[in-house]
Structure 1
Amino acid sequence: MAIEKASSPKSPQPIPKEEVTDSPTEGHLDEEKLKKFYIGSIDQGTTSTRFIIFDGLGQPVAQHQLEFTQNYPHPGWHEHDPKEIVETVELCIEQATQDFLDQGHEIEDIKAVGITNQRETVLVWDRETGEPLHNAIAWPDTRTKGLVRQLKEKEGADELKNICGLPLSTYPSSVKLVWLLQHDKAVKKAYDEGRLVFGTMDTWLLYNLNGGKEKNVLVTDATNASRTMFMNLETTEYDDRLLDFFKLDRKKLTLPKIVPSSDAKEFGTLAKGLLKGIRIAGCLGDQSAALVGQQAFKPGRAKNTYGTGCFLLYNVGEKPVISKHGLLATVAYDFGGKRKPVYALEGSIAVAGSGVKFLMDNLGFISSSNKISELASSVEDNGGVVFVTAFSGLFAPYWIDDAKGTIFGITQYTEQGHIARATLEATCFQTKAILDAMEKDSGHKLAELAVDGGMSSSNLCMQTQANIIGIPVDRPAMRETTALGAAIAAGFAVGVWKEFDELKEINQKDRVVFEPNISAEASAKMFKKWSRAVEMCRGWVDTDESNGEED
Structure 2
Amino acid sequence: MSDRYVLAIDQGTTSTRCILFDRKATVVSVVRGEHPQSYPKPGWVEHDAARIWRDVQRLIGRALREGGVVMNQVAAIGIANQRETVVLWDRDSGQPVAPAISWQDVRTEELVARVDSTLVRDKTGLTPATYFSATKIQWLLEKHGLRERASRGEVLFGTMDSWLIWNLTGGSHLTDVTNASRTMLMDLATLDWDLSLLSAFDIPREMLPSIRSSAEIYGHFEGVPIAAAIGDQQAALFGQTCFDPGEAKCTYGTGGFLLMNTGTTPVRSSHGLITTVGYRIGDEPVVYALEGSIATAGSLVQWFRDGLELISTASEIETLAATVSDNGGCYIVPAFSGLFAPHWRSEARGVIVGLTSYITKAHLARAVLEATAWQTRDVVDAMNADSGLALTALSVDGGMTADNLLMQFVADFLGVPVVRPMVAETVSLGAAYAAGLAVGYWSDLRDLRANRHRAGRWVPALDSPKRAAEHANWRRAVECAVFFSR
Q: Structure 2 length normalisation: TM-score?
A: 0.90
- Specify the alignment match of 1:262 in structure 2: 215
Q: In 2, distance between residues paired with 1:364 and 1:313?
A: 33
- Specify the alignment match of 2:86 in structure 1: 122
Q: Structure 1 length normalisation: TM-score?
A: 0.80
The one of 457, 469, 477 equivalent to 1:525 is 469
Instruction: Spell out, residue by residue over 1:64-114, the C-alpha distance to the aligned partner (whole angstroms, 9 max, x if none).
Output: 12333244444444333323333333333222211111xxx4432221111
Q: In 1, distance between residues paired with 2:379 and 2:481?
A: 18
Tell me, yes or no, if the aligned pair for 2:80 and 2:428 is still in contact at 8 Å: yes
The one of 477, 483, 487 equivalent to 2:432 is 487
Q: In 2, distance between residues paired with 1:445 and 1:295?
A: 18
Q: In 2, distance between residues paired with 1:409 and 1:146?
A: 39
- Specify the alignment match of 1:167 in structure 2: 127
Tell me, yes or no, if the aligned pair for 1:140 and 1:392 is still in contact at 8 Å: no
- Specify the alignment match of 1:226 in structure 2: 181
- Specify the alignment match of 1:472 in structure 2: 417
2:389 equivalent to 1:444: yes
SS at 2:431 equivalent: helix
SS at 1:114 equivalent: strand
- Specify the alignment match of 1:428 in structure 2: 373
Higher strand share: 2
Q: For structure 1, which runs of at least 5 residues remain unmatched after alignment? A: 1-32, 271-275, 543-551
SS at 1:428 equivalent: helix
> Please, which moves more after superposition, 482-491 or 136-145?
136-145
- Specify the alignment match of 1:140 in structure 2: 104
- Quote the offset at 1:436 in angstroms: 0.8
- Quote the offset at 1:149 in angstroms: 3.3
Structure 1 residues 106 and 200, CA, compared in 2 at 3 Å: closer, same or farther? closer
Identity %: 46
Structure 1 residues 55 and 470, CA, compared in 2 at 3 Å: closer, same or farther? same
- Quote the offset at 1:258 in angstroms: 0.7
- Quote the offset at 1:311 in angstroms: 1.6
2:11 equivalent to 1:52: no
Instruction: Spell out, residue by residue over 1:252-310, the C-alpha distance to the aligned partner (whole angstroms, 9 max, x if none).
Output: xx11111111112x1x233xxxxx33221111111111111111112222111213332
Q: For structure 2, which runs of at least 5 residues remain unmatched after alignment? A: none
Tell me, yes or no, if the aligned pair for 2:272 and 2:382 is still in contact at 8 Å: yes
Tell me, yes or no, if the aligned pair for 1:133 and 1:187 is still in contact at 8 Å: no
2:203 equivalent to 1:244: no
Tell me, yes or no, if the aligned pair for 1:327 and 1:397 is still in contact at 8 Å: yes
> Please, which moves more after superposition, 361-370 or 398-407?
361-370
Q: In 1, distance between residues paired with 2:139 and 2:361?
A: 39
Structure 1 residues 120 and 527, CA, compared in 2 at 3 Å: closer, same or farther? farther
Structure 1 residues 159 and 180, CA, compared in 2 at 3 Å: closer, same or farther? same
- Specify the alignment match of 1:38 in structure 2: 5
Tell me, yes or no, if the aligned pair for 1:219 and 1:256 is still in contact at 8 Å: yes
- Specify the alignment match of 1:321 in structure 2: 267
List aligned pairs for 1:29-428, cutoff 5 A.
Answer: 35-101=2-68, 105-151=69-115, 154=116, 157-181=117-141, 184-185=143-144, 191=150, 195-210=154-169, 215-251=170-206, 254-264=207-217, 266=218, 268-270=219-221, 276-337=222-283, 339-359=284-304, 368-377=313-322, 379-408=324-353, 417-428=362-373
Q: In 1, distance between residues paired with 2:63 and 2:4?
A: 16
Tell me, yes or no, if the aligned pair for 2:277 and 2:288 is still in contact at 8 Å: yes
Higher relative contact order (CA closer than 8 Å, sequence separation 6+): 1
